[in-house]
Structure 1
Amino acid sequence: MSPVITLLAGPEPISLHVHEAILCRLPFFRAALKGEFKEASEKVVKMPEDDATSVAALIEFLSSGGYTYAYNPDNTRFRDGKSLVPIADLAQGLFHVSVYAAASKYDCPKLVDEAMKNFRVVVGDLEGIDNLRLWQAAYGVGLTMWAWGTDEGPTKFNEGLTKWAATLSEKHREEMERIMGDCPALACDLLGFQTPVIGSES
């Protein structure tokens, strides 16, 4: 059995423990733990800029090939009358965006794909300003409508925009304008893809 490594994740560190052999599946950790860095001798890796829940998802994925979203069981629905699944909400979407960011940073392409798949499900269900907030977070970590490398990204983007534009009321105009100012790439894509009139409903 390989040594146990302690990951200190987050600005207020949360300790996560994982076997070295699992972490070394990724180039970053292999270099840190098998090289001449202090992590190799101390068996501790500090990750102050990373979200602990995203790092936990990364570990879970490396261990099992999947990751889970810890949702409130009261906020669920049945899919096909068989299994409970979470009702999509902004928190769930932001979690998948955060996992995507961690997977990209630590060069785990299969987890990147899994996080993108889960993101697509949530962004397809969200309406109103939460849809736009989720896209803002996604663009902030490089998960743009173009990230898929296929026409699926623009299609999903346009579907989401149609939903939020249809339900976005005048009271959200100020926030929408702020988001557009804070995220120029998203603003450009909005202008290129958005056709409904914003603020037409009160």
Structure 2
Amino acid sequence: MSRKSQYPSFNVMNEKDEWDGHTQLIVSSRLESSVKFQFLTEHEVEMLRSICSLLVDDALPDALEYVISHIDRTLYSSPGEGQRKVGVPAAPEYIRQGLAAFDRSSQLKYSATFAKLSATEQKQLIQDISVGRDHPAEVWNGIPQKDLFNKLMQLTVESYCSYPRVWSDIGYAGPAYPRGYVRTQLGQLDPWEAKAEHEA
């Protein structure tokens, strides 16, 4: 997040002793550094670092590493997809083809790979792809641009929003089980929930 958190001194991991053991293991594992990618190439990782950073407006390395590691694990293990449009390839093939198309388009427009573009140029290209209007069409070789953007957005947001540092930034105190919420009326907070320290 590019703007300041309203909860600068809050750390969700201070609440971990209130979670059951299984939850502690899952959430704590998200903070473990892992730089070994099994599906993505080094070049694809570099591209995704730029794309994901722009999608969530956050350039902090720890969050981006977690997001990209999640994408890599998802594509490597290929657990299947609940929904996929007819004619759209499976996610591993789709993302790889899409990232290559990102680069082809970037080279044609700016004579540089996507990762080397300015943030303004990257944003414009992502914006064009998000509405299916990046040209020339042959660069995309039948890859539906909007569907690619939506898939990248889904993979990015689902991992970013499960990262503990992001929870701290937005004041989310983590899983309530088994402790549970008591004060449930509008404007009420349980003692263990984050309190805003200044206006956003």
- With the length of structure 2 as denominator, give the TM-score of the two structures: 0.22
Q: Which has the higher contact order (CA 8 A, sep 6+)?
A: 2
Higher strand share: 1
- With the length of structure 1 as denominator, give the TM-score of the two structures: 0.22
